[in-house]
């Protein structure tokens, strides 16, 4: 499909942010990190290469669903960001294409492991630890003790005070679901989710909605990636990050080239660029506190220290497989989502 049509179609539904002027050569990017980092990345690529970007921001699971729906007529070239499980599932469904970038050697081992797991159809670009943030003013005012372990979230004092996203749309929430299953076993994880259901005010669409609500004092606790909590704290909101003391999971945020992309050469140009230290070192300027995959980019000083965090040995191949991911999401719908 000609690029102009592609852009026009995306514009028509009002979902596209453009960096730079219109041109025949335009990269179409689906982006699953926070809006501000998506926009900054599109603008930086245009500034460095002169290539315009039509960017559409989508939560991780929603991006996967869109790419799957468009498989017979792909509309986008590259999918940048979002939790890696969904990228691995896309790879296993052949929705994304293998690519060997000359810049692969610049990456941390965990980013390359992600690339190997998916037969080179995705690659790690950042990582982040799962946990939650709580509103310190709310906790002080109510005289409540903050939750430090997953089991603390069952405290009846927190009734209606927790927000977490729906794991079908949100990579953050799927990481939480898969983490609990790996910590407790599947049946006990679902029992735990049922026990905390009264404390959950809302299963939001986007993984970052809960921590933004906690920052604004609209809820007490938002389950989130800690880099999202740190971003709110750095912006001056009264939130504090907690890495659960009984163990937690983490994500390898990923990037994939879409199979049969309208412009595979531009997709590769973006992919090579996105792996460079120059591109990744701009994350912090955009308020993104993830740990970047390029070895030359130092982790932000505010990022949680991995050595101080009790991380599970997250099985990305299993929890990103179509079989396990689809099974857990269906069970979540049947036992949690549909009970609302
Ligand atoms: N925002 C940030 C900063 C992320 O790191 C991620 C996941 O990688 C997301 C958003 C994904 O959002 P969602 O949970 O809505 O898929």
| Model confidence pLDDT, tens digit, residues 41-92 | 999 999 999 999 999 999 999 999 999 999 999 999 999 999 999 999 999 9
Residue 239 has pLDDT above 60, yes or no: yes
By the 8 A CB rule, do 248 and 229 touch? no
47 C-alpha to ligand 1 centroid (Å): 25
- Reading the block at residue 118, the tokens are 């998916």
249 C-alpha to ligand 1 centroid (Å): 14
Query: Which pLDDT belongs to residue 24?
Result: 58
* Alpha carbon distance 147, 82 (integer Å): 26
- The candidate with the shortest Cα–Cα distance to 253, out of 13, 39, 82, is 82
pLDDT tens by residue, 166-203: 999 999 999 999 999 999 999 999 999 999 999 999 99
207 C-alpha to ligand 1 centroid (Å): 6
Confidence of residue 304 (pLDDT cuts 50, 70, 90): confident
Q: For the chain, which domains are there?
A: 3-127+250-304 (3.40.190.10), 130-248+320-339 (3.40.190.10)
HEC readout, the chain: CCHHHHHHHHHHCCCEEEECCCCCCEEEEEECCCHHHHHHHHHHHHHHHCCEEEEEECCHHHHHHHHHHCCCCCCCCEEECCCHHHHHHHHHCCCEECCCCCCHHHECHHHHHHHHHCCCCCEEEEEEEEEEEEEHHHHHHHCCCCCCCHHHHHCHHHCCCEEEECCCCCHHHHHHHHHHHHHHCHHHHHHHHHHCHHHEEEEECCCCHHHHHHHCCCCCEEEEEHHHHHHHHHCCCCEEEECCCCCECEEEEEEEEECCCCCHHHHHHHHHHHCCHHHHCCCHHHCCCCEECECCCCCCCCCCCHHHCCECCCCHHHHHCHHHHHHHHHHHHHHCHHHC
Identify the weakest region by mean pLDDT among 4-13, 93-102, 108-117, 217-226.
4-13
267 C-alpha to ligand 1 centroid (Å): 21
Residue of 35, 62, 81, 209 best suited for mutating to test ligand 1, as the one with most atoms within 8 Å of CB: 81
For ligand 1, what atom is nearest to the CA of residue 231?
3
Nearest CA to ligand 1 atom 4: 33
ipTM score assigned to the predicted complex: 0.94
For ligand 1, what atom is nearest to the CA of residue 290?
5
126 C-alpha to ligand 1 centroid (Å): 11
- Pocket residues for ligand 1 (CB within 6 Å)? 32-34, 59-60, 81-83, 128, 165, 170-172, 206-208, 225, 227-228, 251, 253, 290
Residue of 39, 60, 288 best suited for mutating to test ligand 1, as the one with most atoms within 8 Å of CB: 60
80 C-alpha to ligand 1 centroid (Å): 11
């Amino acid at each position: 499909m000609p690029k102009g049509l592609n852009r026009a179609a995306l514009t028509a539904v009002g979902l596209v942010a453009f960096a730079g002027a219109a041109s025949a050569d335009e990269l179409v990017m689906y982006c699953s990190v926070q809006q501000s980092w998506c926009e900054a990345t599109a603008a930086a690529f245009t500034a460095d290469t002169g290539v315009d970007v039509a960017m559409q921001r989508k939560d991780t699971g929603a991006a996967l669903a869109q790419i799957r729906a468009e498989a017979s007529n792909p509309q986008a070239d590259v999918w940048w960001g979002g939790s890696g499980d969904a990228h691995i599932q896309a790879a296993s469904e052949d929705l994304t294409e293998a690519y060997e970038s000359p810049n692969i050697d610049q990456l941390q081992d965990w980013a390359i492991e992600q690339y190997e797991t998916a037969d080179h159809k995705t690659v790690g670009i950042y990582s982040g630890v799962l946990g939650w943030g709580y509103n310190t003013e709310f906790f002080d005012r109510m005289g409540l003790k903050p939750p430090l372990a997953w089991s603390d979230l069952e405290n009846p004092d927190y009734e209606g005070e927790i927000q977490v996203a729906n794991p079908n749309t949100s990579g953050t929430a799927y990481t939480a679901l898969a983490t609990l299953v790996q910590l407790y076993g599947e049946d006990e994880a679902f029992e735990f989710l049922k026990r905390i259901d009264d404390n959950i005010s809302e299963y939001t669409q986007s993984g970052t909605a809960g921590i933004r609500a906690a920052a604004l004092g609209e809820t007490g606790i938002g389950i989130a990636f800690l880099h999202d909590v740190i971003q709110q704290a750095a912006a001056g909101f009264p939130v504090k990050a907690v890495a659960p003391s009984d163990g937690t999971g983490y994500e390898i945020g990923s990037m994939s080239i879409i199979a049969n992309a309208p412009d595979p050469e531009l997709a590769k140009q973006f992919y090579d660029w996105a792996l460079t230290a120059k591109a990744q070192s701009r994350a912090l300027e955009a308020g993104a506190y993830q740990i970047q995959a390029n070895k030359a980019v130092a982790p932000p000083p505010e990022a949680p220290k991995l050595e101080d965090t009790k991380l599970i040995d997250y099985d990305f191949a299993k929890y990103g497989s179509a079989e396990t991911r689809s099974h857990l999401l269906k069970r979540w719908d049947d036992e949690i989502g549909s009970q609302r």
